[in-house]
Structure 1
Amino acid sequence: MEIILRKLADIDGCVTLQCKHCEDKFKVNVQEFEDFQGEFMFCASCGLSSNPQDLIFTEDFQKNAQIELENFALKELQKMFGEKNVKGKLKTPKDLYEVNDMNLILKNCCNRQVKINNSANFASTYCPYCGGI
């Protein structure tokens, strides 16, 4: 079983990540994130490390994942028992688009872009890739 979930990047090619520790959100370039080979990534706000996969599940992404799983389960039940015996309505997941709502900064340590909230302090922003300030 493979279900692919996608979220379209913002105008700068960035997607939102959410820290499981402080729950703050920040954005990284989607291509850099997909190419990242490290074991840990760091929150741009609190600097704590997490497994990269733990950072991708923002609330809207989780809701779409739930819809996709429910649809998959319903289709499988209908295949096994027939559509007449299993009643249910497939839900339509929302198209997920990133809003361009954060400030783009360049972290010189890794020469990578990160987007942070407008209220965040630029000087104390951690690099999501190496954890440096």
Structure 2
Amino acid sequence: MNFQIPIPTDSEGFYSLRCPHCKGRFKAQAGDIDAEETIDLFCPSCGLMAESSNFTPPEIIEHATIIVKNYAQEQMFKAFKQSSKKLKGSGIKIKVTKPKEELPKILTEDENLEEITLICCDKTIKLDLDQIASVVYCPYCGVN
């Protein structure tokens, strides 16, 4: 079984990211993050590096977890429902009720971020105005 959950982007195609070290938030274009050569990222705020998957914010992980949970419950419901039909007339009775689906939390966009273009890698990211006023590290090559 193959089950994919798309990671949500903002209206301009940017992923929300959070540094696993300093917890600083920023956004990067989905195409740049999904590129095969993007394995590790540098935090634009603290400059520390980690695997790109470690920059996934907790609210997106929670969102995906709810989607997976709902899918698993639906698959189990279908399997038990089929089993209960096969057992009809055998004297064994199974009552199956559809599980209540949990709604994933609505992911909101952070409107206080400004786009900047990084000259070193010719890529665009979004940062908080406070971050732009200080030293900014390139998430792709680490140059400041």
Relative to the length of structure 1, the TM-score reads 0.83
Q: Which runs of 4+ in 1 moved over 4 A?
A: none
Count of aligned pairs:
131
Q: 1:39 to 1:59 in 2, by over 3 A?
A: closer
Percentage identity across paired residues of the two chains: 28
Give the TM-score, by structure 2 length: 0.78
Confirm or deny: 8 A CA contact 2:74 2:99 kept in the other structure.
no
- Secondary structure, aligned partner of 1:77: helix
* Residues 63, 25 of structure 1: alpha-carbon distance in 2 compared, 3 angstrom cutoff: same
Unaligned runs of 5+ in 2: 83-94
Q: How does 1:15-94 map to 2 (within 5 A)?
A: 15-56=15-56, 58-82=57-81, 84-94=95-105
Give the number of the structure with larger relative contact order, counting CA–CA contacts within 8 Å between residues 6 or more apart. 1
Contact 2:32–2:38 (CA under 8 A) maintained in structure 1: no
CA distance in 1, matches of 2:126, 2:81: 49
Who wins on radius of gyration, i.e. which is larger?
Answer: 2
CA root-mean-square deviation: 2.2
Measure the CA separation in 1 of the matches of 2:10 and 2:67: 20
Q: Which blocks of at least 5 consecutive residues in structure 1 are unaligned?
A: none
Deviation of residue 114 (structure 1)? 1.8
Report the CA distance between 1:97 and its aligned residue. 5.0
